[in-house]
Structure 1
Amino acid sequence: MNIGFIGFGEVGYEMAKGFRAQNDRNKVYVYDHLHDNPKTIERAETIGAVLFDAPEKVAQQTLSVLFTAVPASFTKEAWSSIESYINKETIYIDLTTASAEVKQQISDSMIEKNQFFVDGAIMGPLKGNQHKVPIMVSGNGAEAFIEWGRKVEMNLEFVNKTPGDATNIKFIRSIFTKGLSTLLHELMETASALDLEDTILQSITHTMDKEPFENILNRLITGNVQHSERRVKEMENVADFMLENNVEPVMTRATRDKLKAITESNIREAFMEKEPNDWKEMIHTMNQK
């Protein structure tokens, strides 16, 4: 297998290392804008990858697949640099965190050339998983890529043929994963300021462990129909309390603002003072409003 990477940072390096470990007959060709950096050179030498000083040199190789794994702000530039060398024998996969709109634009350009394009969203840690990291894929080339990926033991999940939808799923999940991580940071920062870390940890652990996650989701979301207005004031008091203890209430203020928006949507009147049956009913009603 001949595999190419435009971008040889953590994503490119870890995946390339996995491909080489899976079968040393897999040949890997890479480019990175830091191609002359000693660390980049060492990485390439360590796994036996061919390191080029220009992206088009990677694209000119006879490749089964070519991954673009650059910072999101350089996505369009990366694709433009190899546009003249795109061919029908290669499946092209974008692993960047560029927006769905950008992925759609790239896909449209590829479709005009009758080429396969894949929007790939990495959904787990690369270290340890390497090329077997869970990746959600969409686009007109997703199914062909999955078929190829089976040969090298990749962990790919088909979404649909719409480029950008895999990225949309990643972005939506990031609201939870990144939001939760910062919320927990603020929570334990406040608890630590009052030497209450262990007590708070035990209390929240008990709450989260006693029922399935979807039950918690239902209870927390539907509860805002009746109680958002009261909770606005409560979170304002919490923010003041945090400031008194020298903790900046960034996430807490955001919670207050979201609760205020829910209150001002008049969602309570929409349900005639009753709680919705489940979280879906509330969210769908909110979206319609």
Structure 2
Amino acid sequence: MRIGFIGYGEASFELSRGLRDEGLEHIKAYDVMVGHEDFGPKILQRAQEAGVFLKNSIAEVVSDLDVLFVAVPANKALDVSVEITSFLEESNLIYVDVSAATPKVKQDISKGLEKVDITFVDVAMLGPLPVYKHKVPIMASGTGTLYLIEKMTPLNMSIDYVGENPGEASAVKLVRSIFMKGIVGLYVEMLEASETFNVSEKVLTSLEETMDTHTFMNTLNRLVAGSAVHAKRRGIELEGSIEMLKEAGLEATMSTAARDRFEKLANLNADIWESAPTNWKDVLSKIHVSE
């Protein structure tokens, strides 16, 4: 198995280090920053530690290769793919993009690769690479996904097939981030308020009891379905929380956004509910009908 990396930052380093531990010997990499005064030494040190052969150009990496991992900044992913494609006319490698680019960018990359008959895999890594290395949970989509799974599973990579359409895997990660990052903002706003009013212990104990009573899916369905029916009242209640935060000189960004969401739910015609919804899909279907 011959593996290559374009971009040799933390992601490529951890993946290559793990694959090297599996016994792979033919691992090459290229990073445009290798000659940089500040970043170059780190790249060289990582490559030496992982037993990776640093090359002087993209062309040297992609020649005679089975799998190419491209790990560049999201805003560079498309431009880099265009440059790489110019060297792939005689290749049959699998092109794996692990950047955090949007689904649209991943689709555009795939279209460009189709012109030279290269299979593409859109990869989203869902865990800390320093912990998991090459075993990090991966969501993958695109024309080359099943080939990638076939090649990399024997090396103990954990790849979950999402579908043939590029962008689907990235959508999973980016949509997931709405919750995982958004809830941090909500936590911080709540904690600032609880500390300001010296009620943290009571608030956190109460929330813990509420959230630990049910599973995640039960809680999601209960809150979304219940809020669809009681959105107006809950929005008004949040107005009190927002006013409290403002009076205390605290930010109310998350609370205000939630209030605005409740107002949109409240604007749904109450007559559309023949019976109270029981899950989030019922609510979403009504929102789409009303738009």
TM-score range, shorter chain: over 0.9
1:264 shift after superposition: 2.2
State the alpha-carbon separation in 2 of the partners of residues 133 and 198 from structure 1: 36
State the alpha-carbon separation in 2 of the partners of residues 228 and 10 from structure 1: 44
Can you list the C-alpha shifts for 1:186-222, whole angstroms capped at 9, x where unaligned?
1112212223222222111111111122211111001
State the alpha-carbon separation in 1 of the partners of residues 56 and 262 from structure 2: 52
For the Cα contact (< 8 Å) 1:56–1:81, is it kept in 2?
no
For the Cα contact (< 8 Å) 1:8–1:31, is it kept in 2?
yes
1:129 shift after superposition: 0.3
1:279 maps to 280
Matched AA of 1:33: V
SS at match of 1:117: strand
State the alpha-carbon separation in 2 of the partners of residues 203 and 26 from structure 1: 54
State the alpha-carbon separation in 2 of the partners of residues 229 and 278 from structure 1: 19
SS at match of 1:157: strand
1:217 maps to 220
Residue range with higher mean Cα deviation, 106-115 or 160-169: 106-115
In structure 2, runs of 5+ residues without a counterpart are none
Would you say 1:141 and 2:140 are equivalent positions?
no
State the alpha-carbon separation in 1 of the partners of residues 246 and 32 from structure 2: 44
Would you say 1:264 and 2:263 are equivalent positions?
no
State the alpha-carbon separation in 1 of the partners of residues 271 and 30 from structure 2: 58
For the Cα contact (< 8 Å) 1:59–1:85, is it kept in 2?
yes
1:83 maps to 85
The alignment's TM-score, normalised by the length of structure 1, stands at 0.93
- RMSD across aligned positions (CA): 1.6
2:65 maps to 63
For the Cα contact (< 8 Å) 1:35–1:52, is it kept in 2?
no
Matched AA of 2:78: K
1:288 shift after superposition: 2.7
The alignment's TM-score, normalised by the length of structure 2, stands at 0.93
Residue in structure 2 matching 1:155, options 150, 154, 158: 158
In structure 1, runs of 5+ residues without a counterpart are none
2:194 maps to 191
Residue range with higher mean Cα deviation, 45-54 or 170-179: 45-54
1:35 shift after superposition: 1.0
State the alpha-carbon separation in 2 of the partners of residues 53 and 241 from structure 1: 59
1:115 shift after superposition: 1.8
Amino-acid identity (%): 35
2:15 maps to 15
